[in-house]
Chains A and B, each alone.
Chain A
Amino acid sequence: MSDRIEFRFSGSGGQGLILAGIILADAAAIYENKNAVQTQSYGPEARGGSSKSEVIISDDPIEYPKATKVNYMVSLTQEAFNKYINDVKDDGIVIVDKELVTDFSKAKGKLYVIDMVKSAREELGKLLGLNIISLGVLVEISGIVSHDSIEKALMKRVPKGFEDYNKKALEIGFRLAKEVKKS
């Protein structure tokens, strides 16, 4: 169980975080032949409310499918950050957006505050794709799967006509993570 790595995307329903989790799990399970399990948790409302999408990746079979000792967490709302931070390990890594999460009184682990919304606005022209930017950041920081694998998994789940848009979002994520790693 020592190689079990737990990821958690958290935010608000409608931000596309479940999809981000699916793409990460697909990249690991299908393109890198690891074991991966993706689960999700959300309330009865269709939009809004806190939602999370979790991915466990391991070389061994994965039994308990949910995250309890989170190695990597992405938070795209303050509410989700406050609600889900507790399970992050002391040496875990937390990735948040600079505009969406501003109160760090509950912070745990190593924190990366990244300008994802700003970059989406400036480089994509809209916030659609914020989930994919955050996925790019997570993959670059964790190194859990290769750029090639995540891109293949992404392309499989993107609607026709939006391939370039999403590829651009992913690359923005890679770049933002590299910048923050250097600083």
Chain B
Amino acid sequence: MSKNIKLMQGNEAVAEGAVIAGCDFFAGYPITPSSEVAEILSNKLPKIGKVFLQMEDEIAALGAVLGAALGGAKAITASSGPGMSLKQEHIGYASMCEIPCVIVNVMRGGPSTGLPTLPAQSDIMQAKWGTHGDHAIIAITPSSVNESLYETIRAFNLAVKYRTPVLLLTDEIIGHMREKVVIPDKNEVEIIDVKLPDVPPEKYNPYNYTSGKVTPLAPMGEGYRYHVTGLIHGETGFPSQKTDVIQNAQNWLIDKIYKNIKDIEKFEEFQTGDADILVVAYGSTSRSVRQAISMARAAGIKVGMFRPITIWPFPEEQISNLSKKIKKVLVVEMNMGQIILEVQRAACGSKVYGLHVANGEPITPDQIFAKIKEVSEN
């Protein structure tokens, strides 16, 4: 066996991916079903001279992560359900101050304490709109343990490149299941490192709203002095109430993500070529869909799948294009109906059906196949 292949849990793969990505810092507060990410990093990070901090709660944990990132660290936290609700204030702060960080949400059933040990995909809209105010976010939904590792690395890269919080949305199934993972060497994967600004400290502005380029975030302690505030600020970082500055700042937070959507988007198309029905699914649910598709094809129903891997920003253009030739679209998600709203907007020429199950159990291939049959006869 020349390759480094291991049987590991999704949460372990996230920790492994973080280390490969060059993660310097983890702060968190343990919560099921995400705790293994913290547990494993508490063991790994100190051994390679990096920092693990258990904080007093989830809010402080993300606060510590943002502080570390301002100091130039690649930083990550992991949580779930109630913990994610607590983190929202600091997610907004990270968006506003453009501080790169990775936030793992191993989704469990909610609201409130909900179902600590059971899966759900019910935080998809929270990922986009959980914190107040206009902003854009990047969120990624891996569907296997192997993908969890590689997408964690990509999450770090996107966070640094676009100076933004990146959410990695797994769920209790992916987080806790074990399967084979091919662990890459550092030189086999792309890793984007934190860079110093290319101007001297006296010429440095921490923000740039008009050039279209993301200014590197100068690590504190390198001689670059600047102001960090959650108030709307100008390019120097100091608060401003000038209408043009405010509008530029608001535009920038959205444009820096949406104008680079081609670089940020990632998706998989599965057997869509001849399909009469398009299933849209993400994360663990897409596995059941894949199995349901082979059942449907064996029964003579031509079905394909579109699977967003980057779920925010939403791949509107792809869905819109596919819906021009595939007139029936079925959205399958482990919640009461979230991404279906986005699909309905994008696939406006097609009839959009939904299969939404939120009972603590993953949606089975049989349930999906039954729905596909119903849609095909409709």
Contact = CB atoms under 8 A, between A and B. Distances in A.
A22 B9 CA distance: 10
A30 interface: yes
Contacts of A62: 179
Interface in B173-201: 173, 176-180
Q: For B179, B288, B364, which residue has the most chain A Cβ atoms within 10 angstroms?
A: B179
A35 B173 contact: no
Interface residues on A, range: 20 to 34
B177 A38 contact: yes
Interface in B259-313: 284, 287-288, 290-291, 294
B176 A30 contact: no
B177 A68 contact: no
Given A39-B176, A63-B288, A44 B116 contact: yes
A66 B362 contact: yes
A26 B7 contact: yes
Contacts of B176: 39-40
Interface residues of B, number: 24
Contacts of A36: 7, 179-180
A42 B119 CA distance: 12
A35 B177 contact: no
B7 A1 contact: no
Contact of B177 (A29, A30, A39, A43): A39
A25 interface: yes
Contacts of A30: 5-7, 180
Interface string A18-38: 000010011001100001111
Nearest to B298: A1
A48 interface: no
Contacts of B366: 68
Nearest to B286: A63
Interface in B109-147: 116-118
B63 interface: no
Contacts of B288: 63-64
A25 B5 contact: no
A65 interface: yes
Given A26-B7, A65-B362, A68-B366, A37 B117 contact: no
B365 A63 contact: yes
The winner among B32, B178, B284, B294 for most chain A CB atoms within 10 A is: B178
A41 to B, nearest CB: 8
A68 B364 CA distance: 9
Interface of A: 1, 22, 25-26, 29-30, 35-44, 62-66, 68
Interface of B: 5-7, 32, 116-118, 173, 176-180, 284, 287-288, 290-291, 294, 361-362, 364-366
The 3 closest A-B pairs by CB, nearest first: A63-B291, A38-B178, A63-B287
Given A25-B7, A37-B177, 6 more contacts: A22-B178, A36-B179, A37-B178, A63-B365, A64-B364, A64-B365
23 contacts: A25-B7, A25-B178, A29-B180, A30-B5, A30-B180, A35-B179, A36-B7, A36-B180, A37-B177, A38-B7, A38-B178, A39-B173, A39-B176, A39-B177, A39-B178, A44-B32, A63-B290, A63-B291, A64-B287, A64-B291, A64-B364, A65-B287, A66-B173
